[in-house]
């Protein structure tokens, strides 16, 4: 009986380790593109309070970047303005980094984006500044933020974000709030 319980515990611990290290996502990889609003993006609309830009992403995949009320919004795809991600940002004032990491799955048709990881720089206006990695699911009709990883608190924040992207991007329900790591 004791051996059976010990065996069950070891199996459970092994599964947890596999899930938290992304071992089930062995066919996933990363590609990187830049977000350069001044040189590579076109202004879609602008007013006194901000602007919306169309930018090229991985293999031309559309990236929408909007700024308003001292916050940035980023969405993806041909219908990016109508995706949930187009309405999501972080509560503190923020800007986005220029390097966009695309998590890719190797399907029969080739490498396909399933998620992105983008660094946001936040400032609450009172001197508290942090770096947050925003993991966004990339799926037509279901593009949304799935996690916020506090890169100011975790040395391995990039790997945590990759593991979340690989393990959760395809199944995450956009009606849920993003998971927050390291508040």
Q: Quick one: 8 exposed, middle or buried, by C-beta within 10 A (0-12, 13-18, 19+)?
A: exposed
- pLDDT less than 50: residues of the chain: 1-25
Q: How big is the CA angle at 88 (ends 148 and 159), to the nearest 5 degrees?
A: 20
What is residue 18's predicted lDDT score, i.e. its pLDDT? 42
What is residue 151's predicted lDDT score, i.e. its pLDDT? 95
- CB proximity list for 161: less than 8 A, separation 6 or greater: 101, 117, 133, 135, 147, 149
Structural domains in the chain (count): 1
Which range marks the domain in which residue 153 is found? 2-181
What is residue 22's predicted lDDT score, i.e. its pLDDT? 46
d(CA 40, CA 94): 21
Look up the pTM and report it: 0.84
What is residue 125's predicted lDDT score, i.e. its pLDDT? 78
What is residue 26's predicted lDDT score, i.e. its pLDDT? 57
């Amino acid at each position: 009986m004791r051996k059976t319980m010990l065996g069950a515990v070891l199996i459970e611990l092994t599964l947890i380790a596999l899930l938290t290290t992304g071992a089930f996502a062995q066919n996933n990889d990363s590609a990187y593109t830049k977000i350069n609003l001044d040189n590579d993006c076109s202004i879609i609309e602008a007013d006194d309070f901000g602007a919306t830009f169309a930018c090229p992403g991985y293999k031309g995949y559309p990236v929408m970047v909007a700024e308003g009320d001292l916050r940035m919004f980023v969405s993806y795809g041909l219908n990016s303005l109508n995706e949930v991600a187009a309405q999501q940002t972080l509560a503190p004032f923020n800007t986005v980094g220029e390097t966009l990491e695309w998590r890719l799955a190797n399907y029969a048709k080739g490498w396909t984006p399933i998620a992105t990881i983008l660094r946001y720089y936040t400032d609450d206006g009172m001197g508290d500044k942090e770096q947050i990695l925003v993991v966004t699911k990339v799926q037509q009709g279901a593009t949304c933020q799935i996690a916020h990883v506090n890169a100011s608190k975790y040395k391995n924040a990039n790997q945590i974000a990759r593991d979340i992207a690989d393990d959760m991007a395809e199944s995450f329900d956009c009606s849920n709030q993003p998971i927050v790591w390291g508040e």
